[in-house]
């Protein structure tokens, strides 16, 4: 049924166009046929007037542009912005971030204490202590301020799971600056030995 409706619609449009073609003949000629025929005439005229070599030159120029376009950068192409890479953090920066985050819970404070405990263990090994992993921090000129010994040994040998989240007094409550200052003083005492 739809097929017959299309044919009927097409037939009615054809009849309507035929009825309007005669009264609008002058209007269609003046506004459509005449301008198009002038454009066609000038296109054919310029095609024959311009030498054939010019067209070949244009074709070769376009081919060279297309061929070189694959080798050279397109000046009209929008440049993509290269995303900036994040600067990778070094050990000191990441450790400073750990210290900054250590105010937020037992685990983060234990992680800082563990890192400092391993550092203290390494310092004692360098200064002539036991080889291997030192469980108890003792050695020549080892005299930490109050609380620092317990802080470092708990970080080295203990676990954050030993202290509940609600624990008020933990060995990790010692000021980190105090611990770092003590370890730094140990390194400065024998600075000439490390060169």
Considering the entire predicted model, what is its pTM? 0.48
E strands, the chain, in order:
none
Tokens of 9: 């619609």
Nearest 5°: phi and psi at 69? -60, -30
Q: What is the pLDDT of residue 61?
A: 93
Top-confidence range, 13-17, 68-72, 144-148: 13-17
Structure tokens at 148: 């620092």
Number of neighbours of residue 149 by Cβ within 10 angstroms: 19
- Please state the domain extents for the chain: 29-69, 91-194
Q: What are the helix and strand counts (H, E) for the chain? A: 8, 0
63-79: string of b/e by CB count within 10 Å (b at 16+)? eeeeeeeeeeeeeeeee
Question: What would the pLDDT profile of 37-80 be if each residue is shown by its tens digit?
Answer: 999 999 999 888 989 899 899 999 999 988 887 777 666 666 66
């Amino acid at each position: 049924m739809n097929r017959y409706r299309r044919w009927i619609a097409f037939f009615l449009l054809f009849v309507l166009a035929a009825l309007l073609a005669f009264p609008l003949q002058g209007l269609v000629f003046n506004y459509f046929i005449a301008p198009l025929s002038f454009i066609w005439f000038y296109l054919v005229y310029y095609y024959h007037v311009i030498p054939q070599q010019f067209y070949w030159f244009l074709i070769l120029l376009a081919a060279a542009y297309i061929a070189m376009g694959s080798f050279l950068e397109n000046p009209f192409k929008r440049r993509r912005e290269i995303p900036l890479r994040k600067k990778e953090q070094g050990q000191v920066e990441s450790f400073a971030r750990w210290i900054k985050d250590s105010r937020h819970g037992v685990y983060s404070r234990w992680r800082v204490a563990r890192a400092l405990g391993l550092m203290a263990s390494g310092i004692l090994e360098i200064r002539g202590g036991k080889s291997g992993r030192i469980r108890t921090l003792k050695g020549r000129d080892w005299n930490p301020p109050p609380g620092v010994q317990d802080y470092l040994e708990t970080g080295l040998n203990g676990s954050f799971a030993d202290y509940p989240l609600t624990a008020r007094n933990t060995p990790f409550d010692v000021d980190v600056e105090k611990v770092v200052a003590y370890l730094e003083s140990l390194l400065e005492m024998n600075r000439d030995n490390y060169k």
